[in-house]
């Protein structure tokens, strides 16, 4: 069953393995007429590129995107956009050993059980490199969303027990700190923690937060394709994410109704607003006009350079020590992936919403005649 295609109106079909010839994506259904050049995409890919700081693997991956189709005279044509990134620095030799056993915390065992064998080089399809196609697609959606005044902003909220201080929130820091934290002080502490983990041949988890502004009320479909449900799937489909929450999230389990309800009010401009935002901008599966707030909880990198017990394909218990160049924390590089998945999801549901009323459809066709 196809499981690498995402989206209803815009269908994002990613492909590629860690050590194959290339990775990429086909984006079908993206609307015509948006200006697009490779640089629009490259800047997002650069945010997930490793080797830029001590927080990441020392592997060098250039990840230069190439547009193969769907653009003419600098604009999207409405037909499928094919994007490709060549694999250049893969060293398959590093991974030959892992073919024989199941790495703890990895998908190896599942792949073997499902498919009978697996491309074990660098994790194959389960590698984080799979997200290249997501980020490239996200770049397009983010550009179109921004033309509607919608901003999707993801950042690192925490690494281990180091959390950002919102009073020091500096958006620029997201793009300049190695941790993608919007708080330079927290970034420094987090880097200390990361360095300590690396020394101890260990890794660490963290939290990614997303804030989306400018979304009109009513986006999302009321039952199964709720906005929050769709975000949940999109975000949980990213490799290391183990929990997703909207607004006050897990905390609501202890709330009383009087604490959790956001009262509606009227802004000075006469718009319906909410006095608080426990809901995280989503009520009944539809945007409520407030800022949308989501969080992804990310597990520590499972590849750690210390002895672990496991079993091999022959069913024997063995002791292993995974070599290779691994990120001590995946959070900073995953920030742009979360941002991308949110953008694809949101744009897809905004398109769905365009046919929510009969008069939207009739006026679309009759006004143009």
Between residues 184 and 243, which has the closer beta carbon with respect to its own copies?
Answer: 243
Between residues 6 and 155, which has the closer beta carbon with respect to its own copies?
Answer: 6
| Residue in 308, 312, 311 with CA at minimum distance from that of residue 321 | 308
Between residues 51 and 110, which has the closer beta carbon with respect to its own copies?
Answer: 110
Q: How far apart are CA 35 and CA 41, in angstroms?
A: 12
| Least Cβ distance, residue 23 to its own copies (angstroms) | 7
| Residue 15, CA distances (Å) to 60, 68, 157, 207, 293 in order | 21, 15, 30, 27, 30
| Least Cβ distance, residue 87 to its own copies (angstroms) | 10
| Least Cβ distance, residue 92 to its own copies (angstroms) | 11
Cβ neighbors of 100 (< 8 A, separation 6 or more) are: 312, 313, 314
Between residues 178 and 302, which has the closer beta carbon with respect to its own copies?
Answer: 302
Between residues 20 and 138, which has the closer beta carbon with respect to its own copies?
Answer: 20
Tokens standing for residue 176? 């300049």
| Least Cβ distance, residue 115 to its own copies (angstroms) | 4
- In this structure, what DSSP letter does residue 60 have? -
Phi, psi of 152 (to 5 degrees): -110, 120
| Least Cβ distance, residue 299 to its own copies (angstroms) | 4
Between residues 172 and 313, which has the closer beta carbon with respect to its own copies?
Answer: 313
CB-side neighbour CA atoms (13 Å) of 321: 4
Between residues 167 and 366, which has the closer beta carbon with respect to its own copies?
Answer: 366
Apex 201 CA angle, 200 and 204, nearest 5:
85
| Least Cβ distance, residue 49 to its own copies (angstroms) | 20
**149-171 as b/e: b if 16+ CB within 10 A:** ebbbbbbbbbbbebbbeeeeeee
- Going by their DSSP bridges, the two strands 81-86 and 286-287 should be labelled as unpaired
| Least Cβ distance, residue 285 to its own copies (angstroms) | 7
């Amino acid at each position: 069953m196809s499981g690498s295609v995402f989206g209803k109106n815009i269908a994002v079909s990613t492909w590629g393995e860690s050590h194959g010839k290339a990775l990429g994506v086909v984006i079908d259904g993206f609307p015509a007429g948006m200006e697009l050049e490779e640089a629009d995409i490259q800047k997002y890919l650069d945010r997930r590129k490793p080797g830029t700081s001590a927080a990441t693997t020392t592997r060098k991956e250039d990840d230069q995107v190439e547009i193969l189709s769907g653009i003419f005279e600098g604009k999207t044509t409405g037909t499928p956009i094919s994007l490709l990134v060549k694999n250049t620095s893969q060293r398959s030799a590093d991974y030959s050993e892992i073919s024989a056993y199941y790495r703890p915390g990895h998908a190896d065992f599942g792949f073997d059980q499902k498919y009978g064998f697996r491309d074990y080089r660098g994790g194959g399809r389960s590698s984080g490199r799979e997200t290249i196609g997501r980020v490239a697609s996200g770049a397009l959606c983010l550009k179109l969303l921004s033309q509607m005044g919608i901003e999707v902003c993801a950042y690192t909220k925490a690494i281990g027990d180091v959390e950002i201080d919102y009073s020091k929130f500096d958006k620029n820091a997201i793009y300049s700190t190695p941790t993608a934290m919007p708080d330079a002080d927290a970034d420094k502490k987090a880097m200390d923690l990361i360095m300590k983990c690396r020394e101890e041949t260990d890794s660490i988890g963290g939290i990614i937060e997303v804030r989306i502004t400018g979304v009109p009320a009513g986006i999302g479909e009321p039952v199964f394709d709720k906005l929050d449900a769709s975000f949940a799937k999109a975000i949980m489909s990213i490799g290391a994410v183990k929990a997703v929450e909207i607004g006050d999230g897990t905390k609501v389990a202890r709330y009383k109704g009087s604490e959790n309800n956001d009262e509606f009010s009227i802004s000075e401009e006469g718009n319906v607003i909410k006095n608080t935002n426990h809901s995280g901008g989503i009520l009944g599966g539809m945007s409520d006009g407030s800022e949308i707030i989501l969080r992804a909880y990310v597990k520590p990198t499972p590849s750690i350079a210390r002895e672990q017990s496991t079993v091999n394909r022959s069913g024997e218990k063995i002791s292993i020590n995974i070599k290779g160049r691994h990120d001590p924390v995946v959070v900073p590089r995953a920030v742009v992936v979360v941002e991308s998945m949110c953008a694809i999801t949101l744009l897809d549901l905004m398109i769905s919403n365009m046919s929510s009323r009969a008069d939207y459809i009739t006026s679309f066709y009759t006004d143009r005649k």
